[in-house]
Amino acid sequence: MRPHSDPGPRTPGPGPRSGRAKIAVLLSGRGSNFVALAEACARGEVPAEIVLVLSDKPDAPGLERARERGIPTRAIPRKGLGREEQERQMVAAIREAGASWVCLAGYMRILGPELVSAFPERILNIHPALLPAFPGLEAQHQAFEYGVKVSGCTVHLVDAGCDTGPIVVQRAVPVLDDDTPETLAARILEQEHRAYAEALRLLLTRPWRVEGRRVVFS
Ligand code: GRF
């Protein structure tokens, strides 16, 4: 229950007074959440700087979007390395870039202990459903098929499970009668882009702590 305005023995958090936090973004795909975060940082809404975009897919479109913005990129595919070694190399790349926070933005792998334990309570993920409902892949389709009337998105701290870490921000999105899985996913994505920046801003500017499963801001 250590308050996070006091970095304590863990990876130093930026806290409210120490300027811009350095962030590494991990992605496997198109990277729209990365772009939304980068733009929120550029507008000064989030006191952070994205210093590295890292992918397990050398051809991820999100890497090109990072290069267009002049942000350093690395691709470390798992093939030929195995999970442990790939994650060790990722941790080294993140540390070399000077990042103390990691934002998963469509990174399509469950993190193993090498990564999770290297940045305790400093890894965030965005999930396109209101957790704990519909974890895992194709959450928008799962929600649509189930017939829920409200879905949304969740930003959470990452632990060793699949979409199980303590929740930081959630945003609800109504499911409309004439929705398709695609129209619902598009409206959820709009909220994802807002929620991710909001969660990061809160964590970087307000004292917080984890109490059991709850992220508590004081
Ligand atoms: C988003 O829906 C995110 O919630 C999920 O993967 C998708 C990534 O989209 N984890 P993008 O690459 O950020 O556009």
Residue with tokens 């990277």: 31
Alpha carbon of residue 192 to chain centroid: 10
- For residues 205 and 47, the answer to whether their CB atoms sit within 8 Å is yes
pLDDT tens across 63-107, in order?
999 999 999 999 999 999 999 999 999 999 999 999 999 999 999
Q: Which domains does the chain have, with CATH numbers?
A: 20-120 (3.40.50.170), 125-218 (3.40.50.170)
Helix (H) or strand (E) holding 49, with range, is strand 48-55
Ligand 1 centroid to Cα of residue 33, in Å, is 6
Closest ligand 1 atom to Cα of 29: 12
pTM to 2 decimals?
A: 0.92
pLDDT at residue 16 above 90? no
Residue located nearest, by CA, to atom 5 of ligand 1: 106
- For residues 47 and 204, the answer to whether their CB atoms sit within 8 Å is yes
Phi-psi region at 163: left, alpha or beta (left = phi > 0; alpha = psi -120 to 50): left
Take residue 65 and report the two structure tokens written for it.
């979007």
Q: How many CA atoms lie within 13 A of 80 on its CB side?
A: 4
Ligand 1 centroid to Cα of residue 108, in Å, is 9
pLDDT tens across 17-33, in order?
458 999 999 999 999 99
pLDDT tens across 95-117, in order?
999 999 999 999 999 999 999 99
| Local structure of 142: helix, strand or coil | helix
pLDDT at residue 162 above 90? yes
How far is the CA of 87 from the CAs of 27, 63, 64, in angstroms?
14, 18, 22
Closest ligand 1 atom to Cα of 192: 4
Ligand 1 centroid to Cα of residue 217, in Å, is 26
| Local structure of 202: helix, strand or coil | helix
- For residues 85 and 6, the answer to whether their CB atoms sit within 8 Å is no
* Cross-strand partners of 215: 210
- For residues 107 and 62, the answer to whether their CB atoms sit within 8 Å is no
- For residues 25 and 50, the answer to whether their CB atoms sit within 8 Å is yes
Reference 123, options 79, 67, 161, 81; nearest CA is 161
Mean pLDDT of the 122-140 span: 98
Closest ligand 1 atom to Cα of 32: 14
Residue type, position 2, single letter: R
Active site (catalytic) residues? 127
The pLDDT value recorded for residue 218 is 86
